[in-house]
Amino acid sequence: MTTFEDREKGFERKFAHDEELRFRATARRNKLIGLWAAKMMGLSGDEAQVYAREVIKADLAEPGDEDVFRKLRSDFDAKGVDQSDHQIRRMIGDMMVEAVRQIESEAKA
């Protein structure tokens, strides 16, 4: 019975670790996409940082990426930024790859 319990605890630890990494990567992605979007809208410095935090908060509205996409789409439309839905979604994906790369790099350091 001990071997089974040890395996179960190991799986639980791995699941918790993977979920923590996913959460950190998503938060990092949201910051990166927020900074990118801020730049596209002509924001810099503190304004860009504040906007990135708004994007991070927007992701808490519902599961998945649609809340972030809608925020970016709405803000781009309001500011007259010419980005297609496809370009925004592609950038969200690209920033997730970059966020994971950064987190993995930090873990190795």
The pTM assigned to this predicted structure is 0.83
Sign of CA dihedral 22, 28, 31, 35: negative
Q: Which amino acid is at 28?
A: R
**Position with higher pLDDT, 64 vs 15:** 64
Burial class (CB in 10 A: 0-12, 13-18, 19+), 95: buried
Domains and CATH numbers, the chain: 2-108 (1.10.790.20)
Q: How many CA atoms are closer than 13 Å to the CA of 12, on its beta-carbon side? A: 6
If pLDDT is split at 50, 70 and 90, which confidence band does 1 have?
low
